[in-house]
Structure formats: structure tokens, C-alpha cells
Structure 1
Amino acid sequence: MNESVQNPNLKKKISPRLKHRRAVADIISTMLLMGVTVTGASTLTYFMNDAFVSGTLGTATTLDSSSLNVLLLAYDTRDASSLMSLSTINNENTINKFLCGVTCSGNQNRIPRDSPGGTEFIVFQIQNNHLNSLFLEDVIVNGVVHSWDPLTGNGVTLDASTSAPLSGKYPADGMFSIVPTNTLIQKNNIQIQSGEIANILVKLGPDDSDIDLNKGIQVKLNVGKIHLVEFILESGDAR
């Protein structure tokens, strides 16, 4: 009888403690869950911010996978001679201390070193690291579209030592040609094969503003994909 009488009392004394412990356990569990959530959110924020600062996040969201495999290896935008070691590409002009576009467009399709000189050249070198060939449809310089000059694609050797308008020896104003690195014979099409390295020779035209030598040049490549490949060239420099 005593035992049966004591058990209810014992239960009444223990139950509040158990409830209290359960409440504390719930609080601890909630705090641990919140801690894990905050830690996870902080880690994710760190990596997202790091990707944003380094540019990888922007690149991944604005360019497709094929564009990511087009590398800029070198460029030459100097107001000088022998751009990208191409001996006949000469921008030297004692009158204009800038890359001459619209100001020199009246001397149509002539080379810069003439007096008066024609529009000037920009050269940059790219490599196609994609598994497939790419087709360079347009080169966009500071928002101005430059198309491929088919006159340069008939097995014509690059030669801008003297003016030869519309001969294909160099691209016409506002156009570009593609020059393989192992020859001066300009490519006869816009295809750049997988692994191939090529020099892109752009001649400024009447739609191009003059480019100050201390201003960057935004270059975008249309390779037939949804997104464009984009580079920034430091004007007046070679790298």
C-alpha cells in the first residue's frame, strides 16, 4: 500500500523536471539548428562574394561554355610600328597622338603612315581552346561592329607597307582580317580551329571614334553563340 501511494507522488515530483529538461533540449536543438543555418549562409555568402569579386560569377552567368574557352593571349594597340611583330603594320603618325578613327576616315582605306594618313590598326591574338572550331563573325570595338573583309581571304599575303585600297593586302576601313601566327597569308575564311592561335587585325573606320592612348578599348567577339566573348585592351599598350 505504501508503495502504491508513493508512486503517484513520485511521478508528480519528477514530471515537472522532465518537462523542464525537454524544454531546455528543445531550446538547445533550435539554437544548434540556427547556428548551422547561419554558418551555412555565411559560408555561401563568402563564396558568392569571392566569385563576384574575382569575376568568375559574372563570367559564368554571362558567357556560355564555348566562350569561356576563347583566350586573349596578347594585344598591341600602340601608336607605333611593327604591331604584334607584324613588320608592315605601322600606326606611327606624328600628327595624331591617338588611334585615329573618324578623324582619318576621309583618307579612305589608306594606311596610317601616309600623309595624310588613313585610319589605324588594332591587333590582338586569341586562342580557341574549345573542342570545336569557332567562326568569328564580327569584332565589336567600343560598340562598333567590324565585319570580316573577304578580299583578304583569297590567299593574299598581309602587306601594309604601302597603301593598296581594296586590294585585300590589309582589311578595309571598319573591317578585320585573320592572320595565322605561322604565316602572313591571311585566312580565307572566318574559321578558327580547335587549339588554333590567330592574330586578329582590325582597321578602324568612319564609325569608330578616335581612341585616346590612355583609354581602355572594349572588344567583343561574335563567334556565333548567344553570348559574346568580351575583352578589355589597354590602349596605347602591348601585352
Structure 2
Amino acid sequence: MNSTINKISEKKSRLRKRRGVADVISTMMLMAVTITGASTLTYFMNDAFVSGNLGTISTLDSSSLNLFLLAYDTRDSITLLSLPNIDNQFNSLLCGSSCSGTPNNIPLNGGTEFIVFQVQNNSLDSIFLDDVSLNGVVYTWDSSTSGVQLDATAPLVNGKYPSDGKFSILPVGKTPIIQNESIEIQNGQIVNILVKLSALESDIPLNKGIRLLLDAGNVQPIEYLIESGDAR
């Protein structure tokens, strides 16, 4: 009788040990799945930031964006995005409010500085860039630049470049550069957007994030995060 009881006890003990081992294995597998999932999410999030793309749920799928950011140049340098004479003053920042005394001058003469970014219309139809927002400051199209040849070698006269707080649209790969006549960007077209910082814009130190919103008729503006002092 005692022998039978001992055998039953031994079997129960083995079952408890097996259940204990099974619980440990299950816990380890759950932790592995959690770590793998977290690593995958971290990879995609980092990839989104590296590409300069912050905004909507579509940022990892550029084909679903009707206006896609291809490149940008926010350096405190010269020939931004290879555009001739689009130069910033070497003052270790992107000057906005500190240059409010003569904001329409070119940067080398104390005016606010430039930012250039390049976009492509991915939609099947023309889209219209109503406005651009940088860190919450809204920029509108400068109609005085319509059909005017770009020239940023001298102080502003008759739309040779956008005035402070405004932008103009430039064709890509054409010389001389004649600024677009409207805010229309045709299907498949790639254009450069030249922004003259507003005197209301706080100075932007180098290596700081800039929140960029493009209002092109979406339910919500397309949002990107770019970096000052950077070119991509």
C-alpha cells in the first residue's frame, strides 16, 4: 500500500515539475515575442525619422502621399539644393526674428534666411499647394513671383524671390529659373519650394527639428520632420 502511495506521489511530483518547466518555457517564449515585436517597431520608427518623415500613418508608404518630400536643404550655407545664389549668411542659425529689421533683404544683407525643399506630386491630378507651415508659422505663396526669373543676388524687387513669410515654386532642371505662375503642381511633376523665413519665425538653431506641414488639399496637412543645418 505504501509502495503504491509513493508511486502516486512520485508521478504527481513529476507532473508538477513538468508543469513548472512548461510555465518557464511559455514565459520565455512570450518575452521573446514581445522583444521581437518591440525591436521591429523600433526599426520602423527609426527608419521613419531617418527618412525625415514624421506625419501621417502613410509616412512609411510614399505611394499613398499625394505630395511627397524628396529632398530638403536647411543649411547655413550657399547654393541651397544647388540653386544658384540662394545663399544663407554664416551665422550658425537660420535667421528669422533677429533679421526683422530688413526681412526682405537677401540674407547676406541682413534679411531673413532661406529654406528649400523638393516635392513631387504623386496623385493622378494636379494639386495646389495652398500654404506651408514651419514650426506653426504659416507661409503663403508670393503671387508677385509669378512668371518672374529667380534672382537672389540683390535686394528684393518685383518678385525676384519670395518676400519674408512667403514661398515661391521653382521648376527643376531648367535654366534660367522662371518661378511658377501659380500654386498648381501637375501630376508627376517635381518642383522646388523656396521659402523666405518670416520675421515672425523664431531663429532656428542648427541641428534642431523643424515641423513641416504641406497643405495640398488633404483632409489634414502632410507632416514631416526635417532638421536644420541638414541637406538630404
**What is the TM-score when the length of structure 1 is the normalising length?**
0.72
Alpha-carbon spacing, 1:139–1:212, altered in 2? closer, same or farther (3 Å): same
* d(CA) in 2 for partners of 1:118, 1:204: 9
* d(CA) in 2 for partners of 1:225, 1:48: 32
**SS of residue paired to 1:151:** helix
Letter of the structure 1 residue corresponding to residue 80 of structure 2 = L
Partner of 2:168: 177
* d(CA) in 1 for partners of 2:215, 2:63: 12
Which of 148, 151, 157 aligns to 2:149? It is 157
Letter of the structure 1 residue corresponding to residue 185 of structure 2 = I
1:92 deviates by 2.4
Provide structure 2 residue ranges, at least 5 long, that are not aligned to the other structure. Answer: 1-29, 49-54
Partner of 2:15: none
* d(CA) in 2 for partners of 1:85, 1:113: 18
Alpha-carbon spacing, 1:131–1:177, altered in 2? closer, same or farther (3 Å): same
Alpha-carbon spacing, 1:126–1:61, altered in 2? closer, same or farther (3 Å): closer
Equivalent positions of 1:214-229 (< 5 A) are: 214-229=207-222
1:59 deviates by 3.1
Letter of the structure 2 residue corresponding to residue 100 of structure 1 = C
Partner of 1:16: none
Q: Considering only aligned residues, what root-mean-square deviation do their CA atoms show, in Å?
A: 3.0
Runs of 4+ in structure 1 deviating by more than 6 angstroms, as ranges, are: 46-49
Letter of the structure 2 residue corresponding to residue 112 of structure 1 = P
**SS of residue paired to 1:103:** helix
Partner of 1:105: 100
Partner of 2:10: none
Which of 79, 82, 88 aligns to 2:79? It is 82
Equivalent positions of 1:1-239 (< 5 A) are: 54=44, 59-60=56-57, 68-93=65-90, 96-114=91-109, 117-153=110-146, 155-165=147-157, 167-183=158-174, 184-239=177-232
Letter of the structure 2 residue corresponding to residue 170 of structure 1 = Y
**What is the TM-score when the length of structure 2 is the normalising length?**
0.74
Equivalent residues, number: 194
* d(CA) in 2 for partners of 1:159, 1:224: 30
Alpha-carbon spacing, 1:49–1:132, altered in 2? closer, same or farther (3 Å): farther
> Percent sequence identity over matched residues?
54
Larger radius of gyration: 1
**SS of residue paired to 1:54:** helix
**SS of residue paired to 2:85:** coil
Provide structure 1 residue ranges, at least 5 long, that are not aligned to the other structure. Answer: 1-38
